[in-house]
Amino acid sequence: MASFELLMNEAWGLLNEEKLEILKEKLAEIKPNSEKEYFDLEMLKGYYFWKLANFNRSASHFKNLEKHANNLKRNDLLGIAFHQQAFVLREEKQYLKALTLIEKEKQLIDDYFSGDFQKLAINSYEQGYLRLLMGNIKEAKEWLDLSLKYSLMTEDLTAIGCSYRALGELELRKENKLRAEKNLNLALSYFERENDLVGVAQIKKMLEDISK
């Protein structure tokens, strides 16, 4: 029988290709043998149900991450658990609840991972984007600027692209089309370098809408 790691790699590949029917069968084959493997499988299942737009099931699996992280006494995994739960809440437009979890993640980062620019970049992005969705433009800008700063320090092309994209959306909210286009074109360049086809298509659509 194939190893847990091999089956998980195949499953993530199916998820990325959105072959969800095949993935459903693959999930039935995967049998975790340790707390960490349970954590990893719950993460995959959370994303699987998110792709199906079954947000209740997705939230349930992401909530289970918290239990496994606590059992492992892993603060890094606990932060991920909070982040993933917030991810679903944002999708359901429960922005204040999502922000509460993102603040809990931020406290863990401050306490244990203050030098981890990747974690800081991702958390700052969510802090800013949630505030943007709630219409708090001033605070959103401060957090998204921080996200961009940390992203540039990590040289993570996707994270940089996401920060510029969010800043572009923010400028659109302010009806500043020139600044929006500048940020979105920068986002586009990073997504193209990362060969992120979904991100590229999304940005091109936003730029087309601005030019109408």
- pLDDT of 108: 98
Provide mean pLDDT across the span 111-127.
Answer: 97
Whether 1 shows a pLDDT value over 80: the answer reads no
**For residue 125, which of 94, 107, 105, 148 has the smallest C-alpha distance?**
148
Angle at 195 between CA 89 and CA 6, to 5 degrees: 70
128-154 average pLDDT score: 97
Q: Which comes out higher in pLDDT, residue 196 or 212?
A: 196
d(CA 188, CA 66): 35
**Category of 6 on φ-ψ map: left (φ > 0), alpha (ψ -120 to 50) or beta:** alpha
Mean pLDDT calculated for residue range 180-202:
96
Q: What's the pTM value of the predicted model, to 2 decimals? A: 0.94
In tens, the pLDDT along 27-86 reads 999 999 999 999 999 999 999 999 999 999 999 999 999 999 999 999 999 999 999 999
Per-residue pLDDT band for 200 (boundaries 50, 70, 90) equals: very high
Indicate the Cα dihedral angle 69, 130, 158, 46, nearest 10°.
Answer: 40
Share of residues in the chain with pLDDT > 90 (%): 97
Q: What is the pLDDT of residue 119?
A: 97
Using the predicted structure, report yes or no on whether residue 155 has a pLDDT greater than 90: no
Q: What is the mean pLDDT of residues 91-107?
A: 97
